[in-house]
Amino acid sequence: MSYLTITARDIEALVKAVKLGEEVKPSQQAKRDVFSQYGITGTYKDRVLTAIYYDLWKRIGIIDRVGAEIVGVSNVAILDPWLRAALRVAIELLIFERHLRSSAKDARNLVIKYLKGRVSKLLSEETHPYVGMFFWDLVDKIAQYRFEPSDVIERWELRYLVSRTIIKRLISLVGREETKKILRAFNQVPPISVRVNVLKATVDEVIKELKREGVNPIRGRYVDTVLKFRGPYDFDRSQLYRSGKIVIQDEAAALASILLDPKPGEVVIDMCAAPGGKTEHMGELMRNNGVIHAFDIDPVRIRRMKMLLKRAGISIARIYREDVRKAPKILGEEVADKVLLDAPCTSSGTIAKNHELRWRIQERKIQEMAKLQLELLRTAIKLAKPGGRILYTTCSLFKEENEDVISKILREYEGVIKLVPLRGPMDEGFLPGTMRAWPHKHGTLGFFYALLEKVKSV
């Protein structure tokens, strides 16, 4: 695709997707929604516009610093959301987008024209006429700006597209050379990963259908019902997806339900369930026999979970829009054979696909998450029967959210719970008996697993 074929409408779609990406997580869902609305999904433009969208989120911290300097504010967070989104798109296209920088001058001028025209008009319509006029003047400043890193850390940030907080933490965790490998993995485009719903199809049937669609999947290394392939892939039009025969899920996430091993007829509690990938998977493993009490507080994610479970044919899940810390009062204590706590976390292991996280993770947030994770684990212990098992997982790379949390809970509940050692299929964690999936080693999201067993009542 030549950049001469980018239209004003395409740039407007990018602005809308970036604005929605602040509101809808993960940000790729926002992109899918807007691109579908604009008829971009599945077209010859999809791949390039998707790449621009992801590139923007990858370097959002640097883009926002440049934006603050150009506008003359301390932080772009104080700007109107529409102006902020337009500013980000303009900076990405005119300062950082490598293909556009090397394109013909008339292609660049055309982009400037579209930014001043259609995008300024959009801002005036959505906010105030003065906002559109203000953006018009900013476009010339952006076009003339030249970015140069100011120090070594900023050069690392520009090279690897992650914040100094993440860079320093990873170096302290695994050393400089291993950190480079992780950061390089963060900057590779991950394949699409789906899991076959064995209640509706066999893996071979799905492979055959995907090949008929022109897709060449490979099977997962650790979960044999996972298939991976290169995109783009239009899930909205996919009969496999719409009929519930495949579920979008990373292989590391799919491994969690297998490690917990819920059986048909058991009582299971999924503590932080939405958007429901693991709830659905446990329903499969239970052969849709038993009960899964699924808790979450996010109405949008719960709505997506309900759609997924209906599509997949899982009928044993009872959904509660409640803080799961209330679950012992709602369900009673010591009621569950199995408890899954896929805990809220910084999601630092998912940076390869959730690009906004590259700049959003802060030290304060890590400590807040660790405190919440401990509270949730205490709830999980109340909910589990003696002899019941609890699987604690996060998609974080940081010890504070993983091994440190498990070490603290083992000390606090000594004699009440024990660690059930996990012996593969991935690497042992920094606490013996726990396990980690690493993006650069296993080709998955970064993930942590700890399996606990309740020995006796508290």
Which residues are the active-site residues? 395
The tokens for 341 are: 């706590």
The tokens for 96 are: 């950082």
Pick the closest to residue 222 from 187, 204, 195, 184 (CA basis).
195
Under a CB-based contact definition with an 8 Å cutoff, are residues 78 and 98 in contact? no
Under a CB-based contact definition with an 8 Å cutoff, are residues 184 and 440 in contact? yes
Name residue 228's beta-bridge partners: 193, 218
Residue with the two structure tokens 């919440």: 372
The alpha carbon of 98 is separated from its chain's Cα centroid by a whole number of angstroms, namely 25
Residue with the two structure tokens 């929605």: 20
- Reduce the DSSP state of residue 70 to 3 states and report it: helix
The tokens for 168 are: 């320093």
Phi, psi of 72 (to 5 degrees): 85, 40
Provide the residue type at 148 as one letter: E
Pick the closest to residue 241 from 206, 202, 280, 212 (CA basis).
206
The tokens for 79 are: 């700007």
Q: How many CA atoms lie within 13 A of 177 on its CB side?
A: 0
Under a CB-based contact definition with an 8 Å cutoff, are residues 324 and 336 in contact? no
